């Protein structure tokens, strides 16, 4: 075992007492000691030999404790905000569900080629070149299938020219 580990281990009872005074609970104090010792071992190269190791560890423990409390406060505020936001969010009305069902039915009414063109170009937002390459069809054919598919969707859904682009 290294001298650093032995020096830190000798101070663990003092660290536990200090942690209990900060945390006010045995479990939290043990966690705090563990976090402090782990950080001290990781950051041992920052310790200046000849200085007071006990003070260095106590300062580190206090900083770990403060960081945890700040993190807990941020989490608490976030949870409070999330609960508040959840209570103010309005449930979707049934019209969205009706529109979605009508749109799915209209898509199923299209021919397979038109449906594929509308899906690739309109919904998946692929380029005409990508869609043409994937289907091994000319770009012009994909454009015309998309145009006919959109026209058929507008007819089935009773929409005007500008509603579906």
Instruction: Break the chain into its structural domains and give their ranges.
Output: 3-88, 94-163
Q: Count of CB atoms within 10 A of residue 141's CB?
A: 15
Q: How confident is the model at residue 52 (pLDDT cuts 50, 70, 90)?
A: very high
3-88: CATH architecture = Orthogonal Bundle (1.10)
Domain 94-163 CATH assignment equals 1.10.10.10: yes
Region 115-139: mean pLDDT is 87
Q: Which ranges of the chain would DSSP assign to H, the alpha helix?
A: 3-10, 12-23, 26-42, 53-88, 94-109, 112-117, 128-135, 139-157
Distance separating alpha carbons of residues 84 and 82, to the nearest angstrom: 5
Query: What confidence tens digit (pLDDT) does each residue in 66-112 have?
Result: 999 999 899 888 888 887 776 666 666 777 788 888 888 888 888 88
Q: Measured on CA atoms in the order 140, 146, 151, 155, is the torsion positive or negative?
A: positive
Encode burial over 116-125: b for 16+ CB neighbours within 10 A, e otherwise.
Answer: bbbbbbeeee
For the cut 90, the answer to whether the pLDDT of residue 21 exceeds it is: yes
For the cut 80, the answer to whether the pLDDT of residue 164 exceeds it is: no
Query: Tell me, what's the pLDDT at 152?
Result: 86
Please, how many CA atoms are within 13 Å of residue 67, restricted to the half-sphere of its CB? 10
Angle formed by the axes of helices 26-42 and 3-10, to 10°? 160
* Contact between residue 110 and residue 152 where contact means Cβ atoms under 8 Å apart: yes
Q: What six digits make up the tokens of 25?
A: 């609970």
For the cut 90, the answer to whether the pLDDT of residue 123 exceeds it is: no
């Amino acid at each position: 075992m290294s001298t650093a580990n032995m020096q830190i281990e000798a101070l663990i009872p003092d660290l536990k007492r200090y942690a209990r005074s900060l945390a006010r609970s045995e479990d939290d104090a043990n966690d705090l000691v563990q976090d402090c010792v782990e950080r001290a071992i990781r950051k041992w190269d920052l310790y200046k030999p000849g200085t007071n190791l006990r003070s260095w560890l106590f300062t580190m423990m206090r900083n770990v404790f403060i960081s945890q409390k700040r993190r807990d406060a941020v989490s608490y505020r976030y949870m409070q905000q999330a609960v508040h936001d959840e209570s103010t969010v309005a449930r979707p009305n049934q019209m969205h569900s009706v529109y979605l069902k009508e749109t799915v039915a209209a898509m199923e009414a299209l021919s397979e080629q038109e449906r594929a063109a509308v899906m690739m170009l309109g919904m998946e937002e692929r380029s005409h070149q990508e869609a043409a390459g994937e289907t091994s069809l000319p770009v012009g054919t994909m454009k015309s299938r998309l145009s006919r598919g959109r026209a058929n969707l507008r007819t089935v859904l009773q929409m005007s020219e500008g509603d579906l682009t």
